[in-house]
A and B are shown apart, each in its own frame.
Chain A
Amino acid sequence: MSHWLIAPVLLPALLAPLMLLFLRKRLMESRVVSVASCLALLAMACLLVVQASDGTIQSYALGDWRAPFGIILALDRLSALMLLITATLALAVMIYAVVTGLDRKGWHFHPLFQFQLLGLNGAFLTGDLFNLFVFFEVLLIASYGLMLHGGGGARLKAGVQYVVVNLVGSTLFLVAVGLLYGATGTLNMAHMGERVAQAPAGDHGLILAGGLLMIAVFALKAAVVPLHFWLPRTYASTSAPVAALFAIMTKVGAYCILRFTTVVFGDGAGELAWAPAPYLLPAALATMLLGFIGVLGARQLRHLAAFSVIGSMGTLVSAIAVFTPEATAAALYYLPHSTFAAAALFLVIDQITRRRGDFGDALSPSPAFARAGPLSALFFLTAIAVVGLPPLSGFPGKLLILDAVRDAPGGWWIWGFILGTTVISLLAFARAGSVLFWKSAATPGEIQAADPVAPVASALVVAALLAVLAGLTLAGGPVSGYLNDTAEQIFEAGAYGGAILGPG
């Protein structure tokens, strides 16, 4: 039993309270500790990816209480991948927040950030349903604080809605846990999968109700239509680095849908096998369409970015909802791409907004602003990534999804929606870019805007995120090799359960 497995949960769990106690008024020390923690998490995530890449599924019994009685953390290729994505994004966002001085605009930014990472890493590692609920609460409570960080009326209004929606979601989570526990008598996901497979037909209704309710809660986190209403306002009203970090929050929902369905409602579940799939696919297609139409209709840049998150979640969930190893491998390639692309989009919009003075993020022509040249290049590259044009990784991502769903039921619907929404988003981003940069160049007048803090360093963070996307494309072969293995491991019947529950 390797203790490295629990380190990504333990490190932020220790650092956050210590920073709260001892570094409350020491900004410089907090920054050093925070960035060092992000670096350490990245190193650990790399180590865990290497450990997981040989195909073994490690499990960690907390307090040495064996499954299914104790709480289990489990590491397979998928968990390791999610940890790596989280750590990479967290490092970029943390550096951006530090160089732009967001962390001095309110109290406790750094401890909240560490608590957020604790919740995320825990949710990706846990193999226990109730433990997942607890980690969800941890990441949500931290996200409330981060979302409201910096204050302001608009942020508070959106914050109340965000908190209320998520509290109702947490309540539903508990209902689903109660139903599943009542019907199967266990909370360990792998054990639950075995019990579901052996369940008498009379219990199928209860199990189905609990399972679908659980998927609904995950869909709420993943902002799948019709549970997406909270997202645009929340993401548009919070600060740019926090919105960029929240790009991983929707992926938690997608990860949980994938993990929960394959473990509990996998091939072994008999009549109940893949029960959520028929509901997920239409919802995902609607999400895709609605998201990218929202991108086209956005009057503000931050709304444009928020709706592009919804659209990309639709694309991702539609590939997941097919539930075949090929489509899942493609979805897992698209997942890091859409996370980093969305984060880069929020940050580049922040860069533009800072230069535009009173015009802010309104999507209307303004007089030319300083540094429009380099900013337009960054915006152009980010737009290419989000829309999914070559050479960045959105293109191979969408191509892999299209290729993988060809023979799946409903595959042609996915083709139509992905190709159609790509055109819509291409139009939307082309229009946004031309309004921002071309029409502005022709508009007379002058913008009174103070020079933003650290313009070069913060732009470099965006460039680094784009470089990650380029790397994802260039290393497409090895990456999709790992992801194919990941998808096969997810769909290998009994692999996850066998590793956690042990033989017999």
Chain B
Amino acid sequence: MSIEFLVATAVGVLSAAGIYLVLRARTFPVVLGLAFMSYAINVFLFASGRLVINQPPIWGKDVAAYTDPLPQALVLTAIVIAFGMTALVVVLALRAYLETGTDQVDGLADEAPGPDSSPSREAGQ
């Protein structure tokens, strides 16, 4: 199996998982989805410099083939930004949950209690 297939599959699966989770209604899956999407992008950015192995990253006069070092700088920047943003969105989601009492992304209260909601809460109403 070629490395291209492996990388393409990894990007595809990570993106699919990320998109699915981002479209969920509660904040925790959404945060995980954002993390998955940023992983997918990191792998994808590596691939944008072509998949080359065992080549020097710097061009010289005596070097016939080389690999592109720039995507790795881009990925490094993207990792740092994604890391900071994930931390921010986690804190924000927690704060919103604590202040509004719901972890729904659209901020609506949980109106219809699900089958696993505790009976004591309904009895209390």
A interface list, Cβ under 8 A from B = 130, 134, 137, 141, 144, 148, 151-154, 156-161, 163-164, 167-168, 170-171, 174-175, 177-179, 181-182, 185, 187
Contacts and interface: CB of A to CB of B under 8 A. Distances in A.
Contacts of A175: 41, 44
Contact of A182 (B48, B93, B99): B48
List 8 tightest A-B contacts by C-beta distance, closest first.
A157-B107, A182-B48, A178-B48, A156-B96, A174-B41, A153-B100, A178-B45, A171-B37
Contacts of A182: 47-50
Contacts, number: 89
Given A141-B84, A164-B105, A167-B85, A156 B45 contact: no
Contact of B107 (A137, A141, A158): A158
A288 B93 CA distance: 33
A175 B47 CA distance: 11
Contacts of A137: 81, 85
B74 A177 contact: yes
Nearest to A131: B77
Contacts of B68: 185
Q: Is the interface of B mostly helix, strand, loop or mixed?
A: helix
A157 B96 contact: yes
B55 to A, nearest CB: 16
A479 B22 CA distance: 46
B78 A174 contact: yes
Interface of B: 22, 27, 30, 34, 37-38, 41, 44-45, 47-50, 68, 70-71, 74, 77-78, 81, 84-85, 88-89, 92-93, 95-96, 99-100, 105-107
A177 B41 CA distance: 10
A16 to B, nearest CB: 16
A144 B88 contact: yes
Given A178-B48, A182-B47, A160 B34 contact: no
A178 B44 contact: yes
Contacts of B89: 160, 163-164, 167
B44 A156 contact: no
7 contacts: A141-B84, A144-B92, A153-B100, A156-B92, A160-B27, A168-B22, A178-B44
A28 B43 CA distance: 48
A299 to B, nearest CB: 18
Contact of A160 (B41, B44, B74, B92): B92
Given A157-B96, A177-B74, A178-B44, A170 B81 contact: yes
Contacts of B106: 157, 161
B59 to A, nearest CB: 12
Contacts of B71: 178, 181
